[in-house]
Chain A
Amino acid sequence: MSKNDRESCTLELRGMSRHFGPVKALDGLDLTVRPGELVALLGPSGCGKTTALRIVAGLEVATSGELLLNGERYNETPANHRDMGMVFQSYSLFPNLTVSENIDYGLRARKVDSDKRQKRVIEMLELVALESKAKSYPHQLSGGQQQRVALARALAIQPRVLLLDEPLSALDAQVRGQIREEIRRIQLDLGITTLFVTHDQEEAMAISDRVGVMSHGQLEQIDKPIVLYNSPATAFVATFVGLANRIPAEITAKGKAKVLNQKVNILESAEPFPEGSKVNVIIRPESLELVSESDDEATRGIVALKSFLGPMTKVGIAVEGAPLIHLNISSRDVRKLDIGDKISFRISSDEVMAERV
């Protein structure tokens, strides 16, 4: 299997904006994807992630900003001269062409030699393990197989950049996990610079080198998945990435708050919260621990539900004055706990994040 003959390149977006009248689909996006890196753009519908991707591909035009590949400006380059491979969400395979002909398409457009083309198509089929389907038509394939062909087709032309527009969203849950690993494996093997758009945070976190969380056309934070998880920059990132409890609290002093009769330290924020103000404190389930009933500084509650998740069980605790609080506890430890039992827990992190109510 030959690697991408081209050298990995740097993809850069500077101040990218896309306005539709008063609506700002993209608002000054700055992003650099390093050579060989897989960056995911993560966010809810309408956050601008797909717009950004389509602008990179040349399918849409930015109202302002620059697109650079290895420092070269690409804004004016027509979409069919950009040498980027794109995988769409679904239905992008040409229905009247066989799998081989689909993969072959970009090569024929580039007037590649017939022999070279054949070799390359076989290479690509092997890459995605679909040799047996070479002569099949798209409608004869499953969703997962279709996306693998789409990937092969995009990579056949040896693109400088790989773009993926929610490629797994239309697939069954089972298949999704497999294909996403395959994508990452191939991407690492070829060392191709990749931009991956999704609304599924688990997906983004699982395979990316860095994840950029977007909201309302802007990048809220971009960093390695573990950093996003442990040190979210904003409340939006904290609640979008991973699970989080939002618990009402009151600021008692600078940097301190009282939440559910426990005292906590609040992370510094750009604008300090005035004393006495009401905030929501954001705490991950794993930052809460069960303690014995005799602990006076713990919060008391009643077990409202148990969701068995395999090695861990998610326990929902009903506490007065707060929404349902979720904890993750190892399934072994939680065996003796029943719904309706009294239970106590403590916040175990040093600092927690707060947001205005």
Chain B
Amino acid sequence: MGVVRARSRIRSSGRGSGVLPLLPFFLFTGFFLIWPVVAVTLRSFKGNKNEWTLANYRPILHSGPYFHAFIVSLKLSLITALIGSLLGAFFAYVIVKYARGKFGAVVDSISAVFANSGGVPLAFMFVAAFGTEGIVTKVLKSLGWDIYAGHFTIFSFTGVVMVYSFFQVPLMILVFKPAIAGLRREWEEASTNLGASAFTYWRRVGIPILTPSFVGAFFLLFAGGFSAYATARALTVGTVPLVPIIIGTLVDGNVISDQTNLGDSLAVGMIVVATIVMAGYIWAQRQAAKWRS
């Protein structure tokens, strides 16, 4: 009698960690996040007559405009991620070391704004500054440097790189700053005390510790550069072949392809690339955390 009562008391004390309260969340993400991804993946394997086929993937995997677009997208991501991560790391170091207190907080907010900028306003801003009639263009012209003399336009690949750097660099600052701040003062002091130069400290301790975080941040920037849509669209429709843009034109019906579901395969291709990159990011984060305990 006493035993039975005890058991039922335990059950009703709410010790069970049931999944019920989390159901709304799982249903929501399942329906609005997982299902669309699954659906587009499934449809990417369906041909014009609804049969199962790999036809949608052929244009991507064999040389041709779609394959080329992937290459260009990857190139863009790589270059902007490099510029962003190197410059951003430099700025992050200077900020952590020399920007204190309120000033540091303001710099943080400004970085946050710039890092989340992008899209159409950013594109327009750059057109205003660097377009053929742009202010900066005119100023440089008056100083003797005609930037449009060669192949450059703000609407070219180089132009897009310039514009992307505007948000990649601050994004790097935001993501990498904690890693630099995590370098304890004691390490540098101990190194000095033991007789090593600053160079030796960075070579043997500072940089090795920062590297996983740096690599992780690089991957993050890469993924961002790859998936960016709005900015690219405002600058490049037609002029620079980028995968997100092509998907957009297919969706808009501006470009008709033999394969009705080509857009799907492109979308899935993007997911695959993004996933690989993010896996790299998560791995790098884990490495960085290994020494922190």
Q: A79-B193, A88-B189, A157-B195 are in contact. Are A96 and B292 (CB under 8 A)?
A: no
Chain B residues with a Cβ under 8 A of chain A: 184, 186-187, 189-197, 200, 204-205, 208-209, 290-293
Residues on the B chain within 8 Å of A86, using CB: 189-190, 193
* Nearest A-chain residue to B184, judged by Cβ: A91
A109 contacts B186, CB within 8 Å? no
* A139–B193 touching, CB < 8 Å: no
Residue of B nearest to A81 (CB): B195
Shortest Cβ-Cβ A-B pairs, 8 listed:
A106-B194, A109-B196, A95-B291, A139-B293, A92-B186, A109-B195, A86-B193, A92-B190
A59 near B189 with CB under 8 A, answer yes
Q: Give the contacts of A131-153 with B (CB-CB under 8 A).
A: 137-139, 150, 153
- Contacting residue for A96 out of B184, B196, B200, B291, CB 8 A: B291
Residues of A230-260 at the interface with B, using a CB-CB cut-off of 8 Å, are: none
Q: What are 12 A-B pairs with beta-carbon distances under 8 A? A: A57-B193, A80-B194, A85-B194, A92-B186, A93-B190, A96-B208, A105-B194, A109-B200, A110-B195, A139-B291, A139-B293, A157-B194
For A150, what are the chain B residues with a Cβ–Cβ distance below 8 Å?
A: 190
Which chain A residue has the least Cβ–Cβ distance from B290? A139
How near does chain B come to A170, taking the closest CB pair, in angstroms?
A: 11
A81, A88, A137, A150: residue with the most chain B Cβ atoms closer than 10 Å? A88
Q: A80-B197, A153-B194 are in contact. Are A96 and B209 (CB under 8 A)?
A: yes
Interface pair A105/B191, CB less than 8 Å apart? yes
Is A347 interfacial (CB-CB < 8 Å)?
Answer: no
Query: Taking CB as reference atom, which chain A residue is nearest B212?
Result: A96
Asked if A137 and B194 make an inter-chain contact with CB atoms under 8 angstroms apart, the answer reads no
Chain A, residue nearest B197 (CB): A80
Q: Is the interface of B mostly helix, strand, loop or mixed?
A: helix
Interface size class of A (residues with CB under 8 A): 20 to 34
Q: Which of A81, A83, A90, A105 contacts B204 (CB 8 A)?
A: A105
Q: Is the CB of B193 within 8 A of A96?
A: no
CA distance A94 to B293 in the complex (A): 13
Q: Which residues of A contact B197 (CB under 8 A)?
A: 80, 109
A92 in contact with B194 (CB, 8 Å): no
> Nearest chain-B residue to A86 (Cβ)?
B193
CB-CB < 8 A to B205: which residues of A? 94, 96-97
A84-B209 contact, Cβ under 8 Å, with A105-B204, A139-B293: no
Could you say which of A82, A139, A153 contacts B292, with CB atoms under 8 Å apart?
Answer: A139
**B198, closest chain A residue (CB):** A80
Q: A153 — nearest CB in chain B belongs to which residue?
A: B194
A94, A137, A154: the one contacting B187 at CB < 8 Å is A94
